[in-house]
C-alpha cells in the first residue's frame, strides 16, 4: 500500500481542476468522488466499488489522517478534503470515529473548522426561526405600535404645553 496514495490523488485532482463542491448542482463532484474510490482500489487492492462503504470509508479516513500538505498545497487541497470529510461524516462513519482517526492531523483541523462552521450555521438558522416565529412577530408589532403611540402622546403633551405658553403670552384664557 502506498502511504500517501490519497495525498497523491488529491494533488492530482486539484491539478486537473476536478470539481470538489459538496453540493454541486451540475456534476455532483462525481468524477472526484469516483476517482477517490479508484485510487483506493489501486492503492490497497480492495475490491473495486461504485459507492463508498464502511471498509472504504475507514481506509480513506486513515489515509486522510496521513495527508500533510506543504504550505502551498494547504489551501488548494482544503476544498477536496472538505468534500471527502462531508461524504465520510454524512453517509457512513459516525462523528467520533472520524475524529478519532483524524486526531492531531491536518485533516482533523479541517474537520474542526467544518464543525465550527456548521455550528455557526445551525445557530443562525435557529435564530432566524426564532425571529420569524409568529408569536414573536406579533409581539414585535405590538411593541412597535406601543412605542409609536407613546411617542405620539409625548408630542401631543409638548404641543399642549407650547399652546398653553402661547395663550399665556397672548393673554388668552384656556
Could you state, in order of their start, the residue ranges of all structural domains in the chain? 5-110
Residue with cell 483524524: 102
CB 66 within 8 A of CB 6: yes
Residue 150 is predicted with a pLDDT of 97
Residue 1 is predicted with a pLDDT of 41
Residue 97 is predicted with a pLDDT of 82
Q: What is the mean pLDDT of residues 96-113?
A: 89
CB 83 within 8 A of CB 21: yes
Q: What is the mean pLDDT of residues 28-55?
A: 89
Confidence band (pLDDT; 50, 70, 90) for 93? low
CB 49 within 8 A of CB 92: no
Of 1-10, 29-38, 42-51, 90-99, the range with the lowest mean pLDDT is 90-99
Kindly report, residue by residue over 121-170, the tens digit of the pLDDT.
Answer: 999 999 999 999 999 999 999 999 999 999 999 999 999 999 999 999 99
Q: Which of 40, 43, 77, 74 is nearest to 57 (CA)?
A: 40
Average pLDDT, the chain: 89
Long-range contacts for 111-117 (Cβ within 8 Å, ≥24 apart)? 111/85, 114/82, 114/85, 114/86
Q: At what angle do helices 54-65 and 5-15 cross, to 10 degrees?
A: 80
Please list, residue by residue across 140-158, b when 16 or more beta carbons sit within 10 angstroms of its beta carbon and e when fewer do. Answer: eeeeeeeeeeeeeeeeeee
The model's pTM is 0.72
Higher-pLDDT residue of 12 and 91 is 12
Distance of CA 163 to the CA centre of its chain: 60
Q: Which of 127, 66, 114, 123 is nearest to 88 (CA)?
A: 114
pLDDT at 2 over 50: no
Amino acid at each position: 500500500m502506498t502511504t500517501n496514495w490519497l495525498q497523491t490523488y488529491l494533488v492530482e485532482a486539484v491539478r486537473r481542476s476536478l470539481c470538489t463542491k459538496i453540493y454541486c448542482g451540475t456534476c455532483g463532484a462525481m468524477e472526484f468522488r469516483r476517482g477517490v474510490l479508484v485510487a483506493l482500489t489501486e492503492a490497497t487492492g480492495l475490491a473495486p466499488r461504485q459507492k463508498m462503504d464502511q471498509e472504504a470509508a475507514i481506509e480513506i479516513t486513515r489515509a486522510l489522517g496521513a495527508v500533510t500538505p506543504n504550505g502551498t498545497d494547504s489551501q488548494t487541497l482544503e476544498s477536496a478534503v472538505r468534500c471527502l470529510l462531508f461524504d465520510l461524516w454524512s453517509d457512513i462513519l459516525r462523528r467520533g470515529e472520524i475524529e478519532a482517526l483524524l486526531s492531531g492531523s491536518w485533516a482533523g483541523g479541517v474537520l474542526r473548522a467544518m464543525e465550527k462552521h456548521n455550528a455557526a450555521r445551525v445557530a443562525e438558522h435557529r435564530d432566524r426561526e426564532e425571529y420569524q416565529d409568529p408569536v414573536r412577530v406579533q409581539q414585535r408589532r405590538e411593541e412597535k405600535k406601543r412605542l409609536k403611540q407613546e411617542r405620539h402622546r409625548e408630542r401631543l403633551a409638548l404641543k399642549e404645553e407650547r399652546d398653553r405658553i402661547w395663550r399665556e403670552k397672548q393673554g388668552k384664557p384656556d
